[in-house]
Amino acid sequence: MNSRQVLTCLVLILAAASAGQGGFAAAAAPTWTSAWTKVPSITLVARADDPRVETASAAIGYWNRRFAEIGTPFRLGAVRRIAGLMAVDELNALNANGSADYPPSLEHFPGDIVIALSDGDIVSFTLRWPAHRKALVGIRTQRHYPLSLPNVTRNVIAHELGHVLGLDHNGDPTALMCGRPARCRPDMFASDTERFFSLTGAEQAQLRRLYPSNWRAR
């Protein structure tokens, strides 16, 4: 195969990857820059007595306030709760596999965004499957550092929801979306005061592009 044929194959692969984005606007390959084209409903999966349910609700409220501030009608939608736990092994396997294969087991959970508040020592993560109109957020237990520190869990949940909504990492340790490859760690969110870290100006501009003032569900 010559260089022109290789280039043609790459173009065809990228074109195929950008087709059929389902509940997200079309985007090339798996990136964080796809916008929701519907109001996504949310399911919280957690133990019945898990205090992080309120924390997750606060993180959802944080994002809806940000959307109101930037002047878009887009909002995160209705929230339901399921008492239970997703298996730690399953969450670890999904995180390791990434979004390469959509897990049929996720269809057992209603909602467009499933937030699994794990009881295990997992790495918090976000996965999206646009063609299936589904996203999964896995959150580490509060029993382990750094989520055991005050104010960290609320920002980690808000951070992962930022990925669900179309934002990537930045290198600003004072901002909510700071992360790899920059040297940003969740323990930087630690605070004796309950607060959410801010968005950068570039991230607010990105949200306005993804969810403009004339955004409508379709």
Q: What is the reported pLDDT for 137?
A: 97
pLDDT in tens, 114-149: 999 999 999 999 999 988 889 999 999 999 999 999
Cβ atoms 53, 85 nearer than 8 A: no
Q: What is the reported pLDDT for 33?
A: 62
In which band, very low, low, confident or very high, does the pLDDT at 2 lie, cut at 50, 70 and 90? very low
pLDDT in tens, 86-96: 999 999 999 99
The whole-chain average pLDDT of the chain stands at: 86
pLDDT, mean of residues 34-40: 93
What is the Cα 121 distance to its own chain's centre? 19
Q: What is the reported pLDDT for 192?
A: 94
Distance from C-alpha of 60 to C-alpha of 73, rounded to nearest angstrom: 15
Ordered by where they begin, the domains of the chain are 23-210 (3.40.390.10)
Q: What is the reported pLDDT for 29?
A: 35
In which band, very low, low, confident or very high, does the pLDDT at 209 lie, cut at 50, 70 and 90? very high
Q: What is the reported pLDDT for 7?
A: 32
**Strand-by-strand arrangement of the 125-129 sheet:** 79-83, 42-46, 113-117, 134-139, 125-129
In which band, very low, low, confident or very high, does the pLDDT at 32 lie, cut at 50, 70 and 90? low
Question: How distant, in Å, are the alpha carbons of 66, 104, 165, 181, 213 from that of 157?
Answer: 15, 24, 12, 19, 26
- For residue 37, is pLDDT > 80? yes
Burial class (CB in 10 A: 0-12, 13-18, 19+), 6: exposed
pLDDT in tens, 59-79: 999 999 999 999 999 999 999
- For residue 13, is pLDDT > 90? no
- For residue 15, is pLDDT > 80? no
Find the radius of gyration of the CA atoms of the chain.
18
Sign of CA dihedral 166, 170, 175, 179: positive
pLDDT in tens, 153-205: 999 999 999 999 999 999 999 999 999 888 899 999 999 999 999 999 999 99
